[in-house]
Every structure is written in structure tokens, then in C-alpha cells.
Chain A
Amino acid sequence: MLLWVCPHYTDMNRYLAYIFFITFIFSCGKQEVDDLSVTDIDTSQYGFSIIESSIAGDDVWINITGDVSKSNDFYFLIFHPLGRHIMDVNENFMQIPKSWTKRSGEYDVEFYHFNQLIEKKKFQVMPREAIGDLNSYIGPKSIITTINEPCMIIGIPTDTFNNPMMDGTQVAYNLQRPGLDIQNRSISIQKLTSNYVFNAQTLNGKTLVGINCNASYSMEKYVDEEPGWPKQIRISPIPKTLKADGKQFVTISTEQIRDALNNIVMDGTQVTFFLLGDDGSTNQFTSLTVDGKSKIFFQHPRKTMTFQVYAVSGNIKSNTIPLAFETNAKEVPMLLLEEDNLIRIGPITSHLQQFIPDGSKIRYAFYQDGQIMREGTVATQKGMTLIRLEDLVLDPGEYIVECEYEGNTSVMTLNIGN
């Protein structure tokens, strides 16, 4: 740099002289401010008053006593609900910017010179009229009628600057309950919010709620008033004569299930049907209510038997009714096909002279001297089925073969040679 500024050392003094000269000229030209130090100001002569406006977003004026032009170090600290601002003082009559007074609540104004607090005052800013959206919340969104379940709706009206209303402001709650006229309630704001608690009534349906406060309105809210637990369950009567053919369904249904207040239980309520067979077997079928009714389709068994039927929902048990199934097949013919080493069972026909359903299970047993030597189950196709003697690997001797289908039994004698 030096080489660039002073390419020749001989010029250095001249350049330095220029620099000093220019610096001197500039420093002489600067006008000194007649500023007084902190100790020179008598702060007791200073003070201020606030010309209040109680509405958020309006002007607030401050009138300062004393000559503030004596110093540049006067300023205000203004504390408001969401923070603070510093305002320099350069006039005796000053306006707090509107943007600073949008928040309702208590404002603190502190008047300072340097760090010395001169005076401190408060003023209140009130919210404007409620207008626009009214914040509202509701919960729970569904209530149960039978237990008078409560529901609370909360309304928080605000002004254009989102300031909540003052306590005591009236808020109108309008409710349309199921089956009732519109109800109006006026609730005072307390601690900046208002709320209204109501309990579920006897009728089901949707309760609509609207809230307003001056020109502020909520969105429509609703709560579902829903039925409670089943009170009683009854099973509808069932036809008495049913065939044990395994080919049909019998419909078992409940009558309309209602709660303690006679409302139809909610769709989708689970109902479990139990069918206890006289052979010790148990059947459990689950169903859901639709319009209060629940039904199951129970496939006919393939053997004669009687069931005791009842249903359970919401820890309530229904009445028990019997359900009987009569025999379907007439006889179980058996034939030995010696050439093929097979026993043919069937054709087994049903009460309308049709084959019994495919897949019907035939139980067989081979006895020798009263002892079961082989037993098993085979399934029919077109009313018939085959037993392959080769697969059974029987020792030579005489056997009693017994076949059983739905309680119908056939017996034949079988001789197996060496």
C-alpha cells in the first residue's frame, strides 16, 4: 500500500501533510452539540400524562412536561401484554403508534432519561367490539343418552385484533336438541372464555349449536346424542321343522334391540349368538346390529340334533329358544366290489330322492371280535364314496364293517383271505 501511495519516499512528507490538513478541516467543520450530561438535567421537572383511548388499535397520546429538547436521551419504555417497545422522545406531545396498541390489556409506560426512571404510569386498552369468527370448541363429539353424559361447548369471541372480550360480556348459545325447539342461553364471559355444559337427553340425534357475541359468530357445531347399552334382547321365533341336510341356512335374528331409554342401539353393535347342541357341541356366531336387529345364517347340520339358542350383547343375555333338525337320509347302502378290492357306500339319497350333498362325511369302522381294527371318515361325491381295502392293510379274517351317516347305520360282513 505504501508503495502505491508514496511511490517515492521524497513525496511522503507531502502526502502526510495533505492527510493532516484534510483531517483538520473536517474536524473543524463539525458543529459541536450543546449536549448536557445526565447530572445537568433536573429530572424532577419532567413528567408525563396519558390521554387514554380505551379501544384496541386506537391512538394513545402522551403529554410530556418539561423541556425535552435539552437532551436526546429521553425515551419511553412501553410494556404491553405481548412484549415491549422503546419510543424515543423528541416532542412534548407524542402519539403511541396504533400498531402498538392492538393488544388489549394493561400497558405500563416508563419515562426515562438515560437509565434514570423519571415516571411510570399505566393505562388500559380495551378490546374492540367482537366481530368475525368466534372460536368455539365442543367435546366430546358424541354423548350417550342413557348415562346423561355431559358435553361442553366453549366460545371465545374476539375483536378484529383477536383480543378476547372483557369478562362479563354476554355470549349467546343457541341449541337445537333432537325433537325440541331451539334453546337460547346467554352466558357471561369469565376469564376471557365462555362455556356451556349440557347433558345428553333421552332422544337420540344430532344437537346443533351456534354461538354469537355481537357481530362475532361461530361455525356450526354439533354433537351426536347416541343410544346407550342394550337393555333387553329377544330372539325372534324360528320355524319348527328343519331338515338336517347341511344344505340350507336357517336365519336366526333378534328383535329390535333398544337401550334403557327405548332408543334403538347403534348400528354396528356386536351381538354374539350361541347355539348349544344336544351332542355337547357349541356354536358361536357373531353379528352386528343394523337398525337394531341382528341376524345370523346358520347352516343346517348334517345330522339330527337340537340346539338351544341365545344371544349376548353388551353383557346382556337374551331368551333361549330351541332349534331342532330332523333326519334327512333314509338308508346307507353298502356293497363289496371284490374284483376291485373296494367297498362302495351309497348311493345315499335324501328325502326328495336327491343325492345327499357332496362332501358329506361317512364314518366307517372295521370290527373284529368286537374290537375296532380300523376306522375313519370318507366324503361322498354324487351320493357315493369308496373305501379301498388295500389302503387299510387288514390281516386275513372276518370283519364286521359299519358305516354311519347322520345317525343312519349299515352293517356288512367282510371276509379277507390270504
Chain B
Amino acid sequence: MAKSANDTYLSPNLIMLGIVVVSCIFHGCLVIYSFPNTYDNYVHTFFADHYRRSWFEPWENRWYTGFTTTSYPPLIHQLGALLSYFVSLKSAMLLVWMFVINNFVVAVYRYSRIWVSDTSALVAASFAIVCPSILEAMHVFGQLPTITGIGFLLHATTETYKWVRHDKNFYLISALSLFAVTISGHHVTTIFGMIFFVAPVVLTAVIDKVGIKGASFRKAPLTLFIKTLWEHRYKFAFFGAAFLFLLIFVVFPYWYWSKTDPITQVPIPHGSRDNFLTVKSSGVAFFVIPWGIVLALLPFLFKTFLSGRNIFIGLSFTLLVILGTGGTTPIPKLLLGENAFNILTLDRFTFWASVMAIPFVGDFIRRFIADDYAQLLYKRIGRLRTNLLQAFVTIYLIGQTILIVNLIEFRPLQPQSINIDPITKFLERDEHYRWRYLTLGFGDQVAWLAANTTAKSIDGNYHSARRVPELTSRAIERLENSKFNGVEGLGSLQQFLTIPEKYHLKYIFSNDKFYDPLLHYCGWHRVQRLENGIMVWEKQDIKPLPPELPMKVIPQYQKIMWGTLPLFCLANAILINLYLRIFLFRILGRDKNPTQTGIYYYERRTHNRYLITPILLVLVPPIMFLWAAGDIIKRNKQARPEEAITAYYDALDFKRFKEAHSYLNPEEGLNFEQYVLEISVADGLLNSYAKLDNIRTEIVEQNDSTAKVLTQTDWVTPISDYSNNIIHNMEKKEGKWYLEPPKFDLSLPPDQFIQQPTVRYFKQGKRRVSTDLTTPDDVVDRPTLNIIDAKLVEYDSIVSIVGEVQNTDNLPAHVTITAILFDSIGREITKYNAKFNMQHKILPKEKSPFRIDFEELSWRKDNESKPTTIDPNEFNPFRFEEFPYSCKVFAKAVAENTDVYKYGNISNMKLDIENDSAFVHGDIVNTGVDEITIPELIVGYYDDNCKIRYVDHHFVNSAVRPQRKNPFQYSLIDEDKLTIHYAIPEKDKYVNGLQQAIFQIGGNPANCEDALIKYKENNIKIGINAFVGVPSLY
């Protein structure tokens, strides 16, 4: 039998107080630990910091090129900002969390009383503390506004129910005040909540009204329901109008922003739109975890929801469950439409469905533990088995809770915590904040860094506000994790790194060495490693930001609205719901119209107690676990040669060397220590910076005990992609196939101890220890350059500027070369910098060929599909509407003292021709004392007069250790594809801002004495551009 509140020994309010205390302890302990590791907490902290610094100025300059905070409802941010005047910012956000989660628990209790008995509502409130979707939203995703929104929405829905049911206008005022808070907390929850929560509840309230009129619901005819609904049409119309007014008025600056500042953005892929059956990780994160044990109760829930007075909420629940399945079925896309489907994150539907189910889950738990369900089970399967089942469910619930709150430990969503103090100090030192910065590999800690500095980043952690075309035209959330966004991420990052002057980007804080080669070859250099291990990269010769940055002016009245209304709404709701309610109760007596109505209908629902639910409770958890963890359960991966090879490369890819070694033939005698040692010294692009993208195997020969397998692997690195073909000899031992161990280089360098005469450079910077700005005397002159030659050429339909530049000075130079193309009437068409096809560090008297390719900034046209696989070489040439009529080439240099490593040399190089295609091969010799992690060949093609024809580059995929050599092979270009259009005249060459023609260069005329090879009409020069991953300096 159902127990009403009166049946309990303690008053429901007292029990509820106890539940809130438990919630405080449980979530309070956890949130301190989970706060820094979640997705969104730091973003909200950043917003709170914004309001703390400038409450009434919505414009925020610190991310992108500035954005307005009116693009996101501000309630919790302002609440955090308000509290941060008394406690630290992080503590303020923790306090906000505690308020929000406890408000939600109380809201669940109040909302549950619409549907179930008081006792069940109390159980539901208890379950809300450990509800898997809430745990995930709070401790994994950090969705503070979502939980704020749903908490206040449940309160508002409850009040709306009471208003419709009892016709007391006080409840309407109360409901509207709570809606106002919901809107200012999370407008999306409000809009969808109106459809999925409020509308069904209003209809249920009408049913209940009818039921009372007609003595019972079952006897209430449909016509009476419709008639009652029609009678109240003006009332509902008023309610709708009032709600609409609040929705527009409370966050009016948001609507104003979305109307006046429409930013066309490419939708960002989200796992919640995946097919959960094929993309298992998305299925686990966005379906299995948020539902948790409730999945086993789905039949029970549907039965409960889709019967009697619950029919409307049942329909809503059904719709939410379907929408929450993302791309698993085509239904959500059909229901939402293509556009909405690609914009919305569909996990929110699952979240709302799970919240909607909480009252009934609470009801089930109560019945399952101590009521009719328990009685039924006693009769059917006996007391012991029932108790065992109850214990199993309890243990599973506990285990599930532990798993979810520790999910970030099992599968970290963020990089290791970074101490940001050294970074903020660096930004403050020498006014480094006058330039923009970028972080790489920081995860969501970018927001925490931003909250602690006034320096500006070109990146950000709030993709809705992205304004930079290089970002909005691509489906990337952030630049800092661009390696996870494949071609679009790396392509976008490359553009920022190649033309950093466009956004005054000067400093990069790198926490991921994956990006190091890309930074180096885009012309960046290391400055220092901070105490926290973060490497600071710098691009020289970037202008600082102007003192006044452009900003979008927001009308003053909107600033005042935005700064005052949200907290006013909260205060107003608290006043109405606490103070006035108490005041009215004192005057009018206790609330005569409690929410609780579920008790009236409870008796009729007890028929919903099929044995299928307990069976599912036993079966579903293990099935879910097996499905989620199926990949990591051990099985024989060496049953077939292809499987063994795939497993071997997979282990190598994820650096599981112990496992990789276990696939090698043990009889070959290569022990694990030797294997790891050999691998650890074999650095390079493939070994240290590559990710396996694709693997194909083909059996060449096979018998019972041996096999030869052709293995084709495709590797992706930050700068290039590689395909590798290798034949593996395999041997079968005791039912398992093993690979022949790789052969390692056995050669020994001649000498044990090497002396290296060298020239090192040191730039003092400020010679006096001072916090003042650098004096003119401490500024080193720009090295003089000579643009020997430059031409506009076309190779394989790609227009480029090629040329050769020489450092005619006595200082080593860091060189940036820019080309601007003009049309026939002198309008600028496009401009771009040289990227991979030049040596950015040029020694005195050294020459470097260069090539500038022009890339589209918007990158892809609307009618083009994006590639499905990652390709860092993906290049989107600029589409010329008119062929460039003229061009100007600008070379500028600053004195360089770091990352100048010129000990990569070429040995035994020969030219070979096969099938009309020519290639050169030889060895790269490292005569220095640092390892060349990634050698790059810069290949210049010259005519007989030593005038440049074309420039190409080639990355060598393995490192060259000091005093050793590694082979390389490079295919020469196809001459037929090359068209030379015109040479750039002397007047259009500029060096360090001056026309080259007007200043003296001196020196000897350029020639081809340094050409390595002559092939057809080309003199070919090759230079080695060396990237030293771990220089001895650091």
C-alpha cells in the first residue's frame, strides 16, 4: 500500500531537509575534486570573472577578437561574480554549484508530488542526488546552467500545475517569477521545457480538474476535458503571453544580439549526433551513462507514463527518449529537421527524459524495496531471492555512482592539471599581454588561464561566440585541441600559425609536443620552458595590439538590463516563494492546495508490476557493461596473421610497447628491454608525432606455419601524412601468429666523444634589469636581406610565388616572407606568408629558396563536402576570379638566436630515373650534437642562369641522431606541370619595409656553384631545415 506523508513518522519537510544535507555532503565533497576536470566549469568561471571585472560592460576582449557576453544567459555567472567579491572565484563557483544542485533536489521533490505519493517523492529526491544523468552533467560535463535551468523549471512547472488546478493567482505569480529565473539561468531549457515539461503538466492539471469535477478521472469524459480546456482558453493565452513576455524581456539583450550579430558558423560535430551503435564511445557517454540503471526500468516507465492521467507527460517522455538517441535512428533528424539536428546537442533530450523519469523511478524504488512490488516478488521468487535482487540493484546503483563520479579518472577528459601562475606571470612580464596568445593542449584549462589574466587569446572556449572567419568556417570547437579535429583543426591552426600578424598572435603556450614540428616549420621558435613544464613559443616581428580594440557597442539600457535583471529575477523569486508565501500563509493560513495529487491515482497504477522489470534489472547492467567494455576484454588477437599485424600496429600507435613486443616472435631472441631501447632512440616524425590513420593488410604467401603479409599503413602527423608499405614475415607458434622483430641499425659512430666547434648567439634583450620598456639602444638592428629572385609560377594549377632570399648581414636572421597579389587595377587580391617551403632561420650569407602558396581563408565553399579522413597536407588553394596581374614580395627579418641548428648534411646523394620519373636518394648526416628530430629538405629548382624556377619541400619521417645518418628519398617535380608566368620586378621587392632597389647590398652576385645536381634544365639545390625536438638548451 502506498504511504502518504501522514504515514511517516517524520514530517516530509524534515526528511527533505535531511536529503538536502546528504546532497550537500555528497556533492560538496565531490565537486571540489571534479570541478577542475569537467568540460564546462572553467568556462562558466571565466564568464563569472568577466562580470567580476566589468559587471555592466558585456563586451569581452579576451577571447577570439572579442565577443559579447549577452550571448549567454548570465544568472549563474553573475551569482558567481557576486560571491567572488567575498571569496575566491573558484570558491564562489563551488558555492553556486551547491546552491544549484540542492535547489534541483528540492525541485525534484516538489515536482514529483504532482505524480507520485509523498514518500515516493522523497525517494525520488534521494535518487536525484545519485541520478546518473545528473552526476554526469555535474561531475563530468560541468553543466551548471543546465542544472540551474532544470531545477527552476521544475519549480515553475509545479507552481503552474497548482495554478491551473486550483485557480489561485498567487501560484501564477510564483510560477512566472520562477520562469524568469529559469530564463536568466538557461534559456534553452526554458524554451524546450515549455514544450516538454510545462505543456504536458498543464494538460495533466486540466485532467485532474476534470477528474475532480467528474468525481474520478476514469469517469471524466473526453468532452468534459476539452470543454474545460476551452473554458480556460483566455487563462492559458494570458499565461502564454506572460511567459513570452518574460522570455523576451528578461534576456532581451540576448535576443538583440542574436538578431543583430548573426554569425554564420559551421556546426560543430557532437557525439550526441552519432550512431550510438557504431560509435560506441558516444553511445556510452550520451546514452548508457545518463540512463544508467534506469535503462532497465524503461518498460516500467513507458507503461507508467503512457497510461491514465500521465498520457501527456508520457508522450513528451517518449519523444525525448527518441530524440536522445541521436543519429542511431533517422527519426530525430526527421523530427527536428536537418538544421536543428546539426545545431542542437541531442544529449540534452536524454538528460531531460531522465529528469522527467525521476519521480517514477523514485516510486518504483519505494515499491521495489518496501511495497507491492516487493510483496509480489516474495510470492513469486521467495524472500531470499528478492532480497538478493534488492541487494544487487543497490550495489549496482552504488557502483554506477562510483563509476560516473570517477569517470574522469578512468578516462580523463582533460590534460593533467596545469599550474597557470607561471603563465600569468610571463604574460605580465615585459608587457607580453600587449600581444595575443594561444594555448595548445590545455583542454578546458584555457578558460581558467583566461580568467586569471587580462591578456587576450585568439582562441577561446565558447564556440558560439567565435567571430574569426578561420574558425567560424570550420567545424572546430577550439584551436588548442585542433589535433582532435582532424583536417579542419590542423588546417585552421596552420593558417593562424602562418599569418599570425593578422591577429597580433605572438606567444603560444604548448602543453603538447605534437604541435612542435608544426610550430617550428611555420617559423616559430622556443623562448623558454616555464616552471610548470609549458613551452613558450614565440613568433618574432609581430606588432602589438592597438591600445583601443574594436568593440560592438551595446545600448546602455541593455547593459543595465543585463546587469540587473537576472539577479533581480532571482531575488524576486526568492521573495515571492519564501517571504510572501510565508507571509500569506500567516495571514491566510496554511497552503490549502498542496501539489500532491499522485496519491489519488496511485491505487489504480499498482497493476503495473510485471516480472519483466526485475528480470531486466538483473540482465541489463551486465549487458550494458559488456557492450561498453567489450573492446577491452581480452581475446586472442593472433588467431590470424592480419589480426596479429593490426594488433601490433595498434599497440605501437598507443605506445603499448609491452603488448607490441608480445606479438614479436619470441624465438628471435629480442628481449623487451632491448626492443624498448631501440624504439626509444628511434625518434622522428613517425615515431613521436604520428597517429595511425589507416592500415591495410594483404597475405602475399601463407602456409600452416609461416606467412608473408604486405602491410600498408597511413600515418598522420601535424605537418604531413605518410604511407608505408612493408612485408612482414610471420610465424605461427602454438596457435598464434608472431611477427619477425624489426631490424635495427647496428652501425656504430666512429668516435665516442665529439668536440663541436660552433658559434652560439645570445640576445640580451634589456641589458639593464628593469621593469621599464626596452630602450632603443637595446633593440638589435634588423638583418639585411636580399631577395635574389622572385617569380609567379603555377604548378599543377596552384599559383605560387617562388624565390630565393639571402641573408647579406652578419647576424643570423629569422625571416618572414609575405607576398601580396594584385589585380589589373591594383586591388589587393590576397596575401599569404611562406610556410613549410623555406628556411625561416638563415645564417649570415646563407641562401634559402622560398615558396608562398595562397590559401583560402574561408577554406571551403558551402557546396563542398568535408573530407572524412585527416590529411594535414590538405591545401585549399585560393580561387582566383582574375589571374594576378602583379605581385609584391616583402621580406623582413629580426636577429635570431635560438633554434638555429645547421648540422643537417647530405651524403651519398644520387639521382635515379625510373619510368620517366626522377628521384634523388641518399643519407641525411647529422654532424652536430643534438638529434634532428624531423629533417626537412628544401629543394630549389634553378635554370641555367641560376634563376629560381620552383621550390619544394619534403619531410623525412625518421630522426637523425647525432653523428649518425638516415636515408631519404625525394621525387623530383614533374616539369610538365610547371608554368612560369612572370618575374617580380626589383621595384616590387621590399626588405624590412624598404624598397630593395634603394639600399646597398654589396656582396657577390648569386650563382649556382652550390647546386647539387643538374637534371634536364634544372640545377637543383637542397638545404636541410632541421627541427630539434629536444635541444640540449632546454
Of residues 228 to 286 in A, which have CB atoms within 8 Å of B's CB atoms? 228-230, 246-249, 266-270, 272, 274, 277, 280-286
Chain B nearest CB, measured from A392 CB (Å): 11
A: interface residue count bin = 35 or more
Q: A269-B810, A285-B905 are in contact. Are A315 and B757 (CB under 8 A)?
A: no
Q: A281-B910, A284-B1012, A317-B1009 are in contact. Are A144 and B746 (CB under 8 A)?
A: no
Pairwise interchain contact A268-B844, C-beta atoms closer than 8 A: yes
Pairwise interchain contact A147-B810, C-beta atoms closer than 8 A: no
Chain A nearest CB, measured from B646 CB (Å): 23
Chain A nearest CB, measured from B964 CB (Å): 10
Stretch at the interface among B239-247, B789-797, B1000-1008: B1000-1008
The residues of A that contact B904 with a CB separation of less than 8 Å are 286
Of residues 991 to 1014 in B, which have CB atoms within 8 Å of A's CB atoms? 1000, 1002-1007, 1009-1010, 1012-1013
A282-326: CB near B (< 8 Å → 1, else 0) gives: 111110111000011101100000000000111111000000000
CB of A123 within 8 Å of the partner chain: no
CB of B846 within 8 Å of the partner chain: yes
Q: A280-B910, A282-B910 are in contact. Are A269 and B844 (CB under 8 A)?
A: yes
The residues of B that contact A277 with a CB separation of less than 8 Å are 908
**Whole-angstrom CA separation of A227 from B810 in the bound complex:** 8
Pairwise interchain contact A144-B910, C-beta atoms closer than 8 A: no
Determine the residue in chain A with the shortest Cβ distance to B756.
Answer: A297
The residues of B that contact A295 with a CB separation of less than 8 Å are 757
Determine the residue in chain A with the shortest Cβ distance to B843.
Answer: A270
The residues of A that contact B927 with a CB separation of less than 8 Å are 285, 296-297
Secondary structure of the B contact surface, majority rule: loop
The residues of B that contact A230 with a CB separation of less than 8 Å are 845, 1004
CB of A61 within 8 Å of the partner chain: no
Of residues 863 to 909 in B, which have CB atoms within 8 Å of A's CB atoms? 902-909
CB of B812 within 8 Å of the partner chain: yes
Pairwise interchain contact A283-B908, C-beta atoms closer than 8 A: yes
Residue of B812, B844, B909 with most chain A CB atoms under a 10 A cut-off? B844
Pairwise interchain contact B1002-A144, C-beta atoms closer than 8 A: yes
Pairwise interchain contact B1009-A286, C-beta atoms closer than 8 A: no
Partner of B780, one of A141, A226, A247: A141
Pairwise interchain contact B776-A137, C-beta atoms closer than 8 A: yes
The residues of B that contact A316 with a CB separation of less than 8 Å are 1004, 1009
Chain A nearest CB, measured from B558 CB (Å): 37
Pairwise interchain contact A314-B1003, C-beta atoms closer than 8 A: yes
The residues of B that contact A312 with a CB separation of less than 8 Å are 1009-1010
**Whole-angstrom CA separation of A176 from B1010 in the bound complex:** 40
**Whole-angstrom CA separation of A14 from B925 in the bound complex:** 113
B: interface residue count bin = 35 or more
Determine the residue in chain B with the shortest Cβ distance to A297.
Answer: B927
Partner of B810, one of A142, A317, A359, A391: A142
**Whole-angstrom CA separation of A274 from B36 in the bound complex:** 57
Chain A nearest CB, measured from B613 CB (Å): 63
Of residues 434 to 460 in B, which have CB atoms within 8 Å of A's CB atoms? none
The residues of A that contact B1007 with a CB separation of less than 8 Å are 315, 317
Determine the residue in chain B with the shortest Cβ distance to A302.
Answer: B747
Pairwise interchain contact B843-A269, C-beta atoms closer than 8 A: yes
Q: A268-B844, A283-B906, A283-B909 are in contact. Are A359 and B1003 (CB under 8 A)?
A: no
Pairwise interchain contact A142-B903, C-beta atoms closer than 8 A: no
Pairwise interchain contact B745-A359, C-beta atoms closer than 8 A: yes
Chain A nearest CB, measured from B49 CB (Å): 42
Of residues 801 to 852 in B, which have CB atoms within 8 Å of A's CB atoms? 808-812, 843-846
Pairwise interchain contact B902-A288, C-beta atoms closer than 8 A: yes
Pairwise interchain contact B1013-A282, C-beta atoms closer than 8 A: yes
Pairwise interchain contact B1003-A140, C-beta atoms closer than 8 A: no
Pairwise interchain contact A379-B746, C-beta atoms closer than 8 A: yes
**Whole-angstrom CA separation of A221 from B706 in the bound complex:** 79
Chain A nearest CB, measured from B316 CB (Å): 60
B907-937: CB near A (< 8 Å → 1, else 0) gives: 1111100000000001001010000000000
The residues of B that contact A140 with a CB separation of less than 8 Å are 781
Pairwise interchain contact B759-A270, C-beta atoms closer than 8 A: no
Pairwise interchain contact A272-B1010, C-beta atoms closer than 8 A: yes
CB of A132 within 8 Å of the partner chain: no
CB of A402 within 8 Å of the partner chain: no
The residues of A that contact B776 with a CB separation of less than 8 Å are 137
The residues of A that contact B750 with a CB separation of less than 8 Å are 246-249, 299-300
Determine the residue in chain B with the shortest Cβ distance to A280.
Answer: B910
Pairwise interchain contact A284-B781, C-beta atoms closer than 8 A: no
**Whole-angstrom CA separation of A315 from B804 in the bound complex:** 13
CB of A357 within 8 Å of the partner chain: yes
Residue of A149, A314, A393 with most chain B CB atoms under a 10 A cut-off? A314
CB of B400 within 8 Å of the partner chain: no
**Whole-angstrom CA separation of A266 from B1007 in the bound complex:** 21
Q: A228-B1002, A314-B1003, A315-B1006 are in contact. Are A381 and B746 (CB under 8 A)?
A: yes
The residues of A that contact B809 with a CB separation of less than 8 Å are 142
Pairwise interchain contact A357-B844, C-beta atoms closer than 8 A: no
The residues of A that contact B1012 with a CB separation of less than 8 Å are 274, 282, 284
CB of A179 within 8 Å of the partner chain: no
Determine the residue in chain B with the shortest Cβ distance to A219.
Answer: B777
Pairwise interchain contact A315-B902, C-beta atoms closer than 8 A: no
Q: A268-B843, A270-B843 are in contact. Are A284 and B759 (CB under 8 A)?
A: no
Partner of B903, one of A247, A286, A391: A286
Q: A297-B927, A314-B845 are in contact. Are A286 and B746 (CB under 8 A)?
A: no
Pairwise interchain contact A286-B905, C-beta atoms closer than 8 A: yes
The residues of A that contact B780 with a CB separation of less than 8 Å are 141
Chain A nearest CB, measured from B902 CB (Å): 5
The residues of A that contact B909 with a CB separation of less than 8 Å are 281-284
B398-414: CB near A (< 8 Å → 1, else 0) gives: 00000000000000000
CB of A35 within 8 Å of the partner chain: no
CB of B758 within 8 Å of the partner chain: yes
Chain A nearest CB, measured from B725 CB (Å): 16
Pairwise interchain contact B751-A288, C-beta atoms closer than 8 A: no
CB of B711 within 8 Å of the partner chain: no
CB of B202 within 8 Å of the partner chain: no
**Whole-angstrom CA separation of A267 from B701 in the bound complex:** 60
**Whole-angstrom CA separation of A296 from B777 in the bound complex:** 37
Pairwise interchain contact B757-A290, C-beta atoms closer than 8 A: yes
CB of A81 within 8 Å of the partner chain: no
Pairwise interchain contact A270-B902, C-beta atoms closer than 8 A: yes
**Whole-angstrom CA separation of A65 from B1013 in the bound complex:** 95
Residue of A247, A269, A282 with most chain B CB atoms under a 10 A cut-off? A282
**Whole-angstrom CA separation of A137 from B1010 in the bound complex:** 40
Residue of A230, A246, A249 with most chain B CB atoms under a 10 A cut-off? A249
CB of A375 within 8 Å of the partner chain: no
**Whole-angstrom CA separation of A281 from B812 in the bound complex:** 31
CB of B1 within 8 Å of the partner chain: no
CB of B29 within 8 Å of the partner chain: no
CB of A139 within 8 Å of the partner chain: yes
CB of B729 within 8 Å of the partner chain: yes
CB of B773 within 8 Å of the partner chain: no
Partner of A141, one of B751, B781, B922, B1000: B781
The residues of A that contact B751 with a CB separation of less than 8 Å are 249
The residues of A that contact B758 with a CB separation of less than 8 Å are 288, 290
CB of A380 within 8 Å of the partner chain: yes
CB of B134 within 8 Å of the partner chain: no
Determine the residue in chain B with the shortest Cβ distance to A283.
Answer: B907
Can you list 11 A-B contacts (CB < 8 A)? Answer: A142-B811, A248-B750, A267-B759, A269-B844, A280-B911, A281-B909, A283-B905, A290-B757, A290-B759, A315-B1007, A390-B706
Closest 9 CB pairs of A and B: A359-B747, A147-B1002, A266-B810, A315-B1004, A268-B759, A359-B746, A317-B1009, A229-B1003, A314-B845
Beyond the given pairs A274-B1012, A359-B746, 10 more chain A to chain B contacts, judged by CB atoms under 8 angstroms and listed by A's residue number, are A229-B1002, A230-B1004, A268-B810, A268-B843, A284-B906, A288-B759, A299-B907, A314-B1004, A315-B1005, A317-B1009
Interface residues of A (CB under 8 A from B): 137, 139-142, 144, 146-147, 149, 219, 221, 226-230, 246-249, 266-270, 272, 274, 277, 280-286, 288-290, 295-297, 299-300, 312-317, 357-360, 379-381, 390-391, 393
